[in-house]
Amino acid sequence: MLGGGCRSGPPAPHALTVCPAALPGGAEMQLEQIALLAAVTVLGVLEQAYFALQVIYARRQYKVSPPGTAGPPEFERVFRAQANCSEYFPIFVSVLWVAGLFFQQGVAAVCGLLYLYARYQYFQGYALSAQGRLGPMYFSAKILWILIGLSVAGLLVHFLSLSSLVWRMEMPSKLQLLFQW
Question: Which residues are part of the catalytic machinery?
Answer: 60, 133
Secondary structure tally for the chain: helices H, strands E: 4, 2
Residues 153/98, Cβ–Cβ less than 8 Å = no
Compute the distance between CA of residue 146 and CA of residue 152 in angstroms, rounded to an integer: 10
Q: What is the DSSP letter of 2?
A: B
DSSP notation for 27-65: --EEGGGTHHHHHHHHHHHHHHHHHHHHHHHHHHHHT--
Rounding to the nearest 10 degrees, give the CA dihedral for residues 107, 113, 118, 122: 140
